Amino acid sequence: MPGASSSSTARGARTTGQSVYGTRGPRGRLANLKEAAVPTAPTLVPITVEDEMEAFTGKAMPQTFQARGGTHGPPQEPLVPTLRQRWAFYLDTSHAGRWLDLIDAVLSLLQCALYVWNSTYVAPPLPGFGSLDVDKSPMPEPNFVDNFLTSALMYAPEVDNESVNVTMGIGWPGHRRKNAIPLPGLNRHLEVTLAVAMLLVWLVRLFVASSRTQFMTRVYTLLTLISTLPVFVAFAMAQTDPDTWQSYMSAGGIVYILPFRWARLHETIGLVFTPVKDPLIRTSPISRKVINVTSAIVLTLLTVTAFIHITLYRMADATAPSPTFFDVFYFTVMSSTSGLQNA
């Protein structure tokens, strides 16, 4: 019985001269009897984050967590965001980040357009013509790659007849090679300027990246470096090599890296139309899909065209006509849609 157990507990306490809870005297004994007869509620012990994690994982929380933000220890001062975190938050939550994506895409588009323009200032390579005998060698046929530019030069009053003949390929190969119409210096400086601007945009993205190691392995980073660094290498080669300065396609194996700028344009277009909370250009999911597929098809054709154009230029005979970029593009489109037999 509960009463018997309580009285026996109190009786045992009197024989030993001690109270149940350490209180002596009649009043203390009466209080002890009342407290012993009434069951007390269990004491609730607060459960901390460390206790929950320890019960879940079977391991105690590290001391670094407890010191930085755990429930143990004195309260810590609030964390202050770094400059990188503030910039990243600003670019993610404002139109500035969307404008940065748009500017990057425009720079990439201008670089691709400049590539098409610069590829017209080429002449077929002339291997082996340096040792030809001038008195016995036949005159080569006209083979300048840009017929429109040649026609314009023929009617230009400030261009003499010798320059027109050299431009049209009429004359000795060595003389034509030496006096070929060079790539305008403005074009080379424009290409270097675009490459510098693209690298600056890339550096901004690298600065605000949460993980720079992962950012360096992204497709965007690889395409940016491939599209910009060869430009500086070709510009440095042009300072000492006259052929590289006069012809855009005479930079050796570097020219095979240039078409990758079309792939970068596709990547930047995808960044512009990436769905965000506050977009600069609002498009529906279907419109974004159409834009993505269309740009992928068109830019793939342009990339293939660039590779074919470079290969034809480097492998063609010196006296054979060399097609322009648009000639190769027409051939690529026709062969892709109608087949090689109908192209």
Q: Do the beta carbons of residue 135 and residue 314 sit within 8 Å?
A: no
294 versus 6: which is more confidently predicted? 294
Q: For the chain, percent helix, then strand, then coil, each to nearest 5?
A: 65, 0, 35
- pLDDT-wise least confident of 49-53, 135-139, 186-190, 295-299: 135-139
In whole angstroms, how far apart are CA 247 and each of 37, 119, 185, 191, 305? 106, 8, 11, 14, 19
Q: For 134-143, how does the pLDDT look when each residue is reduced to its tens digit (9 = 90+)? A: 334 444 444 4
- pLDDT-wise least confident of 68-72, 300-304, 312-316: 68-72
Q: Judge if pTM exceeds 0.85.
A: no
Per-domain residue ranges of the chain: 86-121+186-338, 123-181
| pLDDT value at 162 more than 70 | no
- Distance, in Å, from the CA atom of 46 to the CA atom of 307, rounded to the nearest integer, reads 70
Q: Which residue has the tokens 């012990």?
A: 45
Q: What is the DSSP string of 252-314?
A: GGGGGTTTHHHHHHHHHHHHHT---SS-SS---HHHHHHHHHHHHHHHHHHHHHHHHHHHHHH
Q: Do the beta carbons of residue 36 and residue 6 sit within 8 Å?
A: yes
Burial of 163 (0-12, 13-18, 19+ CB in 10 A): middle
Angle at 24 between CA 21 and CA 26, to 5 degrees: 110
Q: Which residue type occupies 308?
A: I
Res 341: pLDDT? 55
Q: For 171-187, how does the pLDDT look when each residue is reduced to its tens digit (9 = 90+)? A: 444 434 444 556 777 88
Q: Which residue has the tokens 């139109």?
A: 95
Q: How confident is the model at residue 206 (pLDDT cuts 50, 70, 90)?
A: very high
135 versus 28: which is more confidently predicted? 28
**Average pLDDT for 235-241:** 82
